[in-house]
Amino acid sequence: MVTSCPQGLDPYRLPSHIAVIMDGNGRWARAKGLPRMMGHRAGVQALKSTLRNCSDWGINALTVYAFSTENWSRPVDEVNFLMTLFESVLEREIDSLEREHVRIRFLGDLEVLPGRLRDLISEATNKTIGNEGIHFNVCTNYGGRRELVLAAKRLAELSARGELDPSSIDENKFASQLLTAGEEDPDLLIRTSGERRISNFLLWQLAYSEIYVTDVLWPDFDESALLHALLDYQARCRRFGGLDPIENRSIGEKT
């Protein structure tokens, strides 16, 4: 449900799908002399406002990186804090997600998450599965390489059982085995905190996404920071390996 689109933004050229690497919670806290955990807590507020703005402005899908397969290597206290934070936020927000027609899904290896979190994830997913608002994908215990390996494994199993002709495997068949199956690829990837890397996020899906890196730390990523990212996106020329449409026309006219 589109309620408004800020001035200056072209409502017809919005990215349909935005992916976000929400980074910089720890540095935000350190800069304020606070424990890292406070940064994660503040990051939840930034996520809530980003989801609301994306939904209000007419973005169809938002996919965020909440916890990577590599994040288990952090101190056990921080990992436990994050799991408990995910639980309490989910429990608190399930009703408002429903009310706001959000369809939430969790992408990643969910089997190894704590039992209570797994239950809340199932509840939120099932409750919102029929919602027709923004698709909100939360990558939790997600790793791009693991996702690709699992997809390859599933295709190999189907082939070994004689249910799939290996010569028929193409990009669409491969993508249908990914956790994002059914979702369009992100048009725009935002990474906060100035880091210029992908950190094992959506390795297949980001093939042609526009990348926007900002020095803003995730807890400070507010409406104006999102607007800035979208204005930057709208100034880009996406060529997908082809030519700029204007250049294309001028070549056509000459020949």
If 0-12 CB within 10 Å is exposed, 13-18 middle and 19+ buried, where does residue 92 land? exposed
Q: How far apart are CA 132 and CA 6, in angstroms?
A: 23
Q: Which does 69 bind (CB under 5 to 8 A by kind): Mg ion, ligand IPE, none?
A: none
Q: How far apart are CA 205 and CA 187, in angstroms?
A: 9
Give the per-residue contact string, 8-37, with Mg ion (x = CB under 5 A; - = no).
---------------x--------------
The H or E element containing residue 212 is: strand 210-213
Q: How far apart are CA 26 and CA 77, in angstroms?
A: 14
- Select from 19-27, 101-109, 127-135, 170-178 the region that touches ligand IPE (CB under 6 A): 19-27
Q: Which CB atom, from 100 or from 219, has the smaller least distance to ligand IPE?
A: 219
Judged by CB under 6 A, the number of residues near ligand IPE is 17
- Smallest distance, Mg ion to C-beta of residue 211, A: 17
**If we measure between CA atoms, which residue out of 101, 113, 114 comes closest to residue 55?**
101
68 binds ligand IPE (CB under 6 A): yes
Q: Which CB atom, from 14 or from 229, has the smaller least distance to ligand IPE?
A: 229
CB-based contacts of 192: which residues, under 8 Å, 6+ apart? 20, 21, 22, 23, 24, 214, 216, 217, 218, 221, 225
Look at the block and give the residue holding tokens 């699992």.
Answer: 150
Among 14, 21, 42, 90, binds ligand IPE (CB under 6 A): 21
Q: Which CB atom, from 71 or from 234, has the smaller least distance to Mg ion?
A: 71
Q: Which does 67 bind (CB under 5 to 8 A by kind): Mg ion, ligand IPE, none?
A: ligand IPE
Give the per-residue contact string, 195-214, with ligand IPE (x = CB under 6 A; - = no).
x-x-x---------------
Neighbouring-strand partners of residue 17:
61
Residue nearest ligand IPE (C-beta atom):
26
CB-based contacts of 162: which residues, under 8 Å, 6+ apart? none
Residues within the interface to Mg ion (CB under 5 A): 23
Applying CB under 6 A, which residues contact ligand IPE? Answer: 21-27, 65-68, 71, 82, 193, 195, 197, 199
